[in-house]
């Protein structure tokens, strides 16, 4: 499968060598490139050494961003990678199962593979941003080197058969979904469905559910229109309060 639509997003990586080795893996497997969010040590020299000459351009072109929201905004599907640490209870897929499931998505949608820091993995807040989770099966010692995890996922995606299932249409991206979540949080709060001071836990469930739906952009617009209508009927301005809503 061609990986032009696959981008590796490294969230708070600690070691520039791993960023460089991940860039090399991207070039090996034909992925589009990578993005780093708040790398602890953005030492380009160390990155370039591991990237080798062949992937130097991926390192040079790599955006270094301050915000995970900004990094994920353009993607229709975000895959989170986790080790078997037991910190989260969501079911996770195998790399091979994930690759099979993503094949129809990849034809017309951009996918982010999101990796956490070498030390801590992905935070719960970052995991909540993911439409699906994947865990590399291991023999016991479950902590796989960051760049090796990148390689295994890209390798499985590359081997997956893009012709196996009909391609899915263009889905809503993370910016559109975040707008929907903000609207939903506002609506839930307005009708007393979630507590305004601790909305995150409940919204994590909503995110998970919506993530599975693979909504298209026009479906998200429809749902937001519905939210707006209900909020209007409740005598509140949907526009005025969105920024203050808890779901962001």
What is the binding site for a copy of itself (CB under 8 A)? 3, 17, 21, 24-25, 27-30, 50, 52, 54-55, 96, 136-145, 147-148, 151-152, 155, 158-159
DSSP symbol at 204: H
Closer by beta carbon to a copy of itself, 47 or else 55: 55
- Quote helix, strand, coil % in the chain, to nearest 5: 50, 10, 40
Please report how close the Cβ of residue 106 comes to a copy of itself at its closest, in angstroms.
Answer: 14
| Residue 4 token pair | 């032009």
How near is the Cβ of 44 to a copy of itself at its closest, in Å?
Answer: 19
Residue whose CB is less far from a copy of itself, 60 or 239: 60
Nearest to 105 by CA among 66, 78, 73: 78
| Token pair for 97 | 């199962």
**DSSP structural state of residue 53:** G
CB of 12 to a copy of itself, least distance (A): 19
Residue number, 21 or 177, with CB nearest to a copy of itself: 21
User: Which of 99, 81, 100 is closest to 165 using CA atoms?
Assistant: 100
Half-sphere exposure of 9 (CA within 13 A, CB side): 30
55 versus 72: smaller Cβ distance to a copy of itself:
55
Rounded Cα distance between 106 and 134, Å, is 16
CB of 138 to a copy of itself, least distance (A): 5
Residue 151 or 203: the one with the smaller Cβ distance to a copy of itself is 151
Comparing CB distances to a copy of itself, the nearer of 103 and 184 is: 103
Is residue 140 exposed (0-12), middle (13-18) or buried (19+ Cβ within 10 Å)?
exposed
Cβ closest to a copy of itself, residue 33 vs residue 246: 33
Question: How many angstroms separate the CA atoms of 36 and 19, rounded?
Answer: 8
Q: How far is the CB of 60 from a copy of itself (least distance, A)?
A: 16
Q: For tokens 């080790």, what's the residue? A: 83
Residue whose entry in the numeric block shows the structure tokens 């739906």:
213
What CA–CA distances, in Å, run from 162 to 106, 166, 198, 239? 8, 9, 42, 41
Least gap, CB of 139 to a copy of itself (angstroms): 3
Query: Least Å distance between CB 137 and a copy of itself?
Result: 7
């Amino acid at each position: 499968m061609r990986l032009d639509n696959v981008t590796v997003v490294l969230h708070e990586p600690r070691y520039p060598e791993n960023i460089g080795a991940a860039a090399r893996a991207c070039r090996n497997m034909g992925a589009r490139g990578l993005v780093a969010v708040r790398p602890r040590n953005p030492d380009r020299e160390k990155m370039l050494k591991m990237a080798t000459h062949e992937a130097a351009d991926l390192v040079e072109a790599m955006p270094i961003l301050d915000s995970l929201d900004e990094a994920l905004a353009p993607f229709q599907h975000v895959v989170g990678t986790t080790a078997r640490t037991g910190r989260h209870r969501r079911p996770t897929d195998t790399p091979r199962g994930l690759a099979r499931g993503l094949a129809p998505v990849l034809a017309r949608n951009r996918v982010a593979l999101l990796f956490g820091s070498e030390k801590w993995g992905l935070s719960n807040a970052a995991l909540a941003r993911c439409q699906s989770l994947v865990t590399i099966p291991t023999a016991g010692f479950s902590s796989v080197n960051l760049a090796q995890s990148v390689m295994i996922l890209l390798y499985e995606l590359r081997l997956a058969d893009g012709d196996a299932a009909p391609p899915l249409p263009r889905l809503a991206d993370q910016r559109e979904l975040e707008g929907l979540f903000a609207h939903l949080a506002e609506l839930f709060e307005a009708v007393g469905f979630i507590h305004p001071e601790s909305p995150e836990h409940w919204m994590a469930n909503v995110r998970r559910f919506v993530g599975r739906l693979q909504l298209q952009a026009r479906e998200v617009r429809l749902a937001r229109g519905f939210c707006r209508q209900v909020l209007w009927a409740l005598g509140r301005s949907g526009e005025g309060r969105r920024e203050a809503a808890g779901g962001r």
